[in-house]
Amino acid sequence: MRYISTRGEASPVTSTRAILTGLASDGGLYIPEFYPVLGQEELAALKDLDYQGVAERVLRVYLTDYNDRELREMIAKAYGENFSSPEVVPLRTFREKLGFLELWHGPTSAFKDLALQLLPHLMIKAAEKEGEEGEIVLLVATSGDTGKAALEGFKDVPGTKVIVFYPAQGVSEIQEKQMVTQEGVNTYVIGVEGNFDEAQTGVKALFSDEALAGEMARKGMRFSSANSINWGRLAPQIVYYVWAWSRWKKDGVLSAVECFNVVVPTGNFGNILAAYYAKRLGIPVGRLICASNMNKVLTDFIQTGIYDRRREFFQTISPSMDILISSNLERLLYELTGRNAERVRELMRQLRDRGCYSLEGDALRELQDEFWAGFATEEETMKAIKDSYERYGYLLDPHTAVGYKVYQNYKERTGDPSPTIIASTASPFKFNQSVAGAVMGEEKSGVKDEFKLLVELAEFTKSEIPANLRGLAEKPVRHRNVVSPTQMEKAVREVLGL
């Protein structure tokens, strides 16, 4: 399997090369040159496998440059004791065939762990296979969860450094504390005075800075990306949608021919794209339901075909979805335009220069056939947390609650009774201020000390605080650097000694 660029000007590469580089040299994103399909027998065999087994069956069709033994070893390291559930990704099913796919049992309590516990292994092995000896410098822009997950994944991994930029005022208290207390000899955490899009734009500029790349090369260093533009992030995310289906088949929730819908709380469009790839792999997914918060650029796009990022930016209680430039959408555009790289280049140029672009005709129709989109306001999100707690006794974090609310809207508007899986993207304890406010009473929303709330929420709901969040308040701060977006390059040079 080779990987091609969505902009069509870079040469096709191996999976190992795609993972090592992250972004293609023409600025495009790598995608598989064709979509593999699992046969009926292979699909049927999945339900007898554990998570690691399913991961192997899925990843081997995309990452063909690793042999089965290598994949198995890497998967065993990535999805072991570091996950608090032996199932890795438990699927909680409630009546009406509604399932919550709990993607947050990893070391940072958000779904990013599923990819970022595996990516370092994929990358180190890729460097070995490609004969790359220098140091890999992971440059990460985060809206809150990716940063911590990347830091945990790569900490103390020989031959790597991780530099994380996060919006200094745009993440929750717990998210910030998780990052600034990060241990490891190769980890660097830097706040940016700006929002996520500014941090991401700064990181993209650093990636394409040829002078900097040259200086780094002379010192035996190269950049790579741990953001979801890296194929090595997306491939592991396909696994859990296949896994969810295999669980429902095993438990008899789905009849022989039944499809299920997937709802994904969406920001950078990586997670929902992985569900789309699972569908292309042969998993009977019906509608892909894209859920946004007030930053509803994707809702508007899917409903009208017009992508317009020139709009007010809202800081919400689901900060990991506070994004107006969804990078991974480019991969979908490539498919929607009939794999027309020239058209993708044109659309991306319009997005950069004018802040908008539009799709019409067949491309738009296909988009709307595959995807349905909606958004939830802040108030609706809080109500959704309360509603799920009252109805199922089940706590949702605000991101997952956005998904739950949009799912309710979808059902109401379309009447579609299909079984549905909602991607549950974070532990409710990671965003406890909103969660406590929703289930314990409004006065809790005003409580500034998230760490005190952690304990109160656990007692009130009789549930357990994830281990990684338990001792967080007492951990010493190790990273204090905050810079303006224009100083990001300087900060990187300092870390790298350039």
Q: Which residues are at the interface with ligand PLP (CB under 6 A)?
A: 110, 112, 145, 228, 265-271, 320-321, 399, 425-426
Least CB distance from residue 189 to ligand PLP, whole Å? 17
- DSSP 3-state assignment of 141? strand
Cβ closest to ligand PLP, residue 43 vs residue 274: 274
Residues annotated as catalytic (active site), given as ranges:
112
Indicate the helix (H) or strand (E) that contains 162: strand 160-167
CB atoms within 10 A of CB 159: 15
Residues 6+ apart with CB under 8 A from 150: 112, 116, 138, 140, 142, 162, 164, 226
**In the chain, what is the greatest distance between 2 CA atoms, to the nearest angstrom?**
61
- Distance, in Å, from the CA atom of 148 to the CA atom of 142, rounded to the nearest integer, reads 8
Cβ closest to ligand PLP, residue 340 vs residue 377: 377
Burial-class residue 364 by CB neighbours within 10 Å (0-12, 13-18, 19+): middle
Cβ closest to ligand PLP, residue 103 vs residue 436: 103
Cβ closest to ligand PLP, residue 16 vs residue 433: 433
Least CB distance from residue 265 to ligand PLP, whole Å? 5
Instruction: Specify the DSSP class assigned to residue 111.
Output: T
Least CB distance from residue 164 to ligand PLP, whole Å? 14
- DSSP 3-state assignment of 21? helix
Least CB distance from residue 252 to ligand PLP, whole Å? 30
Cβ closest to ligand PLP, residue 59 vs residue 323: 323
* Alpha carbon 458 to its chain's center: 26
Cβ closest to ligand PLP, residue 132 vs residue 145: 145
Least CB distance from residue 434 to ligand PLP, whole Å? 12
* Alpha carbon 80 to its chain's center: 20
Least CB distance from residue 110 to ligand PLP, whole Å? 4
- Distance, in Å, from the CA atom of 101 to the CA atom of 428, rounded to the nearest integer, reads 14
Cβ closest to ligand PLP, residue 254 vs residue 426: 426
* Alpha carbon 445 to its chain's center: 27
Pair of tokens at residue 309: 């990022």
- Dihedral class, residue 361 (left if φ above 0, else alpha if ψ from -120 to 50, else beta): left
CA 130 → CA 133, 161, 213, 230, 311, distances in Å?
9, 19, 19, 17, 43
Pair of tokens at residue 206: 């650093």
Least CB distance from residue 375 to ligand PLP, whole Å? 13
Q: Amino acid identity, residue 340?
A: N
Indicate the helix (H) or strand (E) that contains 43: helix 40-45
